């Protein structure tokens, strides 16, 4: 056996896949790359190209963290589609499945992912229709998972945030990726009804007590209305959701008090009681996805720390679970903190078009030298950004 190529690299996904495929060192400045330290077993060593070996004594758990709505942008995955064969093959497979359900290709009808010269310009509007957002985001995340698998990177633990729970269904081994895509399509179709409900969401850098005080102040001025804490992201990071007028005043009130706050780019007030408007349709559409006779119960094979329950999930995925993940608050902080109690050494890998949860993960693991937070996809500077955190705005 010849010697291992033992130089560690920290690579973004396209370079990482290229190295794992050819076994050669990329001509890039590694200080400006992100992701994983690894050594490559060359094909001449008699082992398959694509085997990943960590360069530390005890391999940390890979924790795949799937972000939700808000990280999407029109050119997401376009370069990967052009340069990364596993990603492209996965997108095309999923697009065929999408067309079999919806009757039209997502790639051809929207111009997403495709890198051809005759692709359409951005026709999706701002914000995108939810019926496009959820399937597109799920396709992207599942294709990244497939590409990472080729490079030998697979999850030991998975966590989802809001709409990211859809990809968790597949990444946890509970169901196949085509089932996850059908789930995304069904949820998007059901949530379309809320696009005209005059809802809104806003991100705030404050404690839950501060958020409740803001809610009370807003309701005292405008009268009772829907304004609720939608996401518990980190000790000083929350999302509010509800009626548009209430959310707007909440942002104004928080800003006046010196609390960083910004409205998010969505019209759908997820994780609030307003979602009851679509409950019947939601459950009806998801009943066509679950149960899955060929696969039986959708029980995770990889541990799931659920932002729906706020801890280790020991059940089976079903319509009630995903309804809970739509109407209830996102308990992301609780889920991550419980995971950290059980896994002292871990590498968090954020799976999304661009990093938005990384800052929350850093906040919850600050000072812990056994925890690494990384993301295979670079930050995009031309999307809606939160000026206080330098993170893309997201649910």
Reported as a single tens digit per residue, the pLDDT across 20-38 is 333 333 333 333 333 333 3
Does any domain span residue 391? no
Domain stops at, among 233, 256, 274: 274
pLDDT of residue 90: 97
Domain of 296, CATH number, reads 3.40.366.10
The answer to whether residue 205 sits within a structural domain is yes
Cβ contact 333:233 at 8 Å: yes
Query: Residue 306's domain spans which residues?
Result: 64-194+275-382
d(CA 295, CA 169): 13
Q: What are phi and psi of 195, to 5 degrees?
A: -70, -20
* Same-domain status, 126 and 179: yes
Verify that 157 and 285 share a domain, yes or no: yes
Residues 79 and 150 in one domain: yes
Last residue of a domain, one of 250, 274, 298: 274
Alpha-helical runs (H) found in the chain? 13-22, 78-83, 85-102, 106-110, 130-150, 165-171, 177-191, 208-222, 244-256, 279-287, 319-327, 332-342, 358-365
pTM for this model (two decimals): 0.84
Q: Does some domain include residue 55?
A: yes
Whether residues 178 and 295 fall in one domain: yes
Task: Examine the domain organization and report whether 169 and 212 are in the same domain.
Answer: no
User: Quick check: 132 and 108 in contact, CB under 8 A?
Assistant: no
- Measured over the CA atoms of residue 366, residue 380, residue 147 and residue 334, the dihedral's sign is positive
Q: C-alpha angle 112/118/122, rounded to 5°? A: 40
Residue 389, domain member (yes or no): no
Could you tell me if 249 and 120 lie in one domain? Answer: no
Q: With the CA atoms of 303, 307, 313 and 315 taken in that order, what torsion angle do they form, in degrees rounded to the nearest 10?
A: -130
pLDDT (tens place) for every residue of the chain, 395 residues total: 222 222 222 334 544 444 433 333 333 333 333 333 332 222 333 333 233 333 333 456 899 999 999 889 999 999 899 989 999 999 999 999 999 999 999 999 999 998 876 766 788 888 999 999 999 999 999 999 999 999 889 999 999 999 999 999 999 999 999 999 999 999 999 999 999 999 999 999 999 999 999 999 999 999 989 999 999 999 999 999 999 999 999 999 999 999 999 999 899 999 999 999 999 999 999 999 997 665 568 999 999 999 999 999 999 999 999 999 999 999 999 999 999 999 989 999 999 998 999 999 999 999 888 999 998 877 665 444 333 333 445 67
Supply angle C-alpha 78, 83, 86, rounded to 5: 95
Does 148 share its domain with 213? no
User: Within 13 Å of residue 4, how many CA atoms lie on the same side as its CB?
Assistant: 14
Cα-based torsion angle of the residue sequence 172, 174, 179, 182 in order, rounded to the nearest 10 degrees: -70
Residue 21 lies in a domain: yes
């Amino acid at each position: 056996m010849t010697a291992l190529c033992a130089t560690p690299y920290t690579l973004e996904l396209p370079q990482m896949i290229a190295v794992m495929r050819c076994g050669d060192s990329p001509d890039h400045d590694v200080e400006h790359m992100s992701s994983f330290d690894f050594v490559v077993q060359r094909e001449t060593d008699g082992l398959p190209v694509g085997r990943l070996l960590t360069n530390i004594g005890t391999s940390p758990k890979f924790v795949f963290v799937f972000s939700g709505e808000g990280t999407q942008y029109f050119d997401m995955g376009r370069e990967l589609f052009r340069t990364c064969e596993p990603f492209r093959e996965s997108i095309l497979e999923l697009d065929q499945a999408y067309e079999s359900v919806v009757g039209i290709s997502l790639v051809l009808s929207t111009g997403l992912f495709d890198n051809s010269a005759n692709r359409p310009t951005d026709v999706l509007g701002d914000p995108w229709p939810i019926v496009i957002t959820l399937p597109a985001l799920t396709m992207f995340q599942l294709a990244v998972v497939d590409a990472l698998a080729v490079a030998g990177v697979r999850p030991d633990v998975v966590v989802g945030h809001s709409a990211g729970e859809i990809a968790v269904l597949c990444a946890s081994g509970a169901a196949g990726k085509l089932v996850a895509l059908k789930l995304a399509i069904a949820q998007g179709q059901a949530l379309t009804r809320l696009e005209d409900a005059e809802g809104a969401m806003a991100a705030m850098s404050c404690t839950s007590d501060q958020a409740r005080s803001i809610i009370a102040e807003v309701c005292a001025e405008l009268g009772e209305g829907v304004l609720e804490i939608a996401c518990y992201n980190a000790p000083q990071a929350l999302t509010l959701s509800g009626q548009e007028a209430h959310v707007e005043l909440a942002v104004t009130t928080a800003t006046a008090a010196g609390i960083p706050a910004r409205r998010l780019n969505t019209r759908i007030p997820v994780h609030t009681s307003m979602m009851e408007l679509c409950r019947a349709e939601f459950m009806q559409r998801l009943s066509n996805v679950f149960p899955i006779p060929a696969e039986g119960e959708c029980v995770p094979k990889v541990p799931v720390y659920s932002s729906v329950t706020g801890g280790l999930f020991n059940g089976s995925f079903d319509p009630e679970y995903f309804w809970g993940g739509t109407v209830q608050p996102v308990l992301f902080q609780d889920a991550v903190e419980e995971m950290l109690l059980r896994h002292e050494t871990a590498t968090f890998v954020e799976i999304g078009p661009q990093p938005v949860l990384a800052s929350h993960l850093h906040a919850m693991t600050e000072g812990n030298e056994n925890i690494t937070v990384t993301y295979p996809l670079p930050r995009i500077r031309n999307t809606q950004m939160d000026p206080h955190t330098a993170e893309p705005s997201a649910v």
